[in-house]
Amino acid sequence: MRTQIRIVAGSLRGRKLACNVDVNLRPTPQRVREALFSILGNAVPDRPFFDVFAGTGVVGLEALSRGASSLTFVERDFRLIADLDRHIRAFEVGDRARIARIDVYRWAERWQPPDEPVTVFLSPPFADFERRLDDLLNVVTQMQEKVQPGSVIVLQSESTATLDELPVRAEWDERRYGRNVLLIWVKETPPSKNP
């Protein structure tokens, strides 16, 4: 089914993305996106944003619209990549947006984040929470280790997913919106050691 998704705020406000929606592609609902960016606040403007398992790319484009300094989509499905390319051109954001055309699980192993705080949004296929949970937890662990202090990692899941095994589970802020769950983790600055 072909549908349109509207960007809510910022420089691209009101622009629409046309995309095909099926059982494997479920764009983040507008209400959840509004809540997400309200929670992220200052963790978006002037910092790199990574839309991982990008799908339609609406979350990443929303971040760019709200002032992210750069945007990297990570996606392997060539049909979705074609749509992402089209949106980047249509919105004239090619100077700030790029696509990493690769499987997320392989990308995470090689990823070298910038030497500054970043914001990472992970929206894996719901099936991965059952079929590839260990791989997914490994991706999250690698990101937590690699990012700079002040970075924010957001994981979107379905309310039925069991996420008790998330690394440092107690440090994740959990918000529920119907069947959607947002888990937010901030990398704290390590305490300074006194001489």
Contact by Cβ (8 Å): 15, 6: yes
**pLDDT tens profile 30-39:** 888 899 999 9
Range of the domain at 174: 2-186
Contact by Cβ (8 Å): 183, 155: yes
Q: Is 151's pLDDT higher than 90?
A: yes
The average confidence (pLDDT) of the chain is: 89
> Is residue 172 assigned to a domain?
yes
> Is residue 169 assigned to a domain?
yes
Cβ neighbors of 23 (< 8 A, separation 6 or more) are: none
Overall number of domains in the chain:
1
What CATH code is carried by the domain that includes residue 170?
A: 3.40.50.150
Cβ neighbors of 105 (< 8 A, separation 6 or more) are: 132, 135, 138, 139
**pLDDT tens profile 85-132:** 999 999 999 999 999 999 999 999 999 999 999 999 999 988 888 899
Contact by Cβ (8 Å): 140, 71: no
> Is residue 193 assigned to a domain?
no
Contact by Cβ (8 Å): 182, 150: no
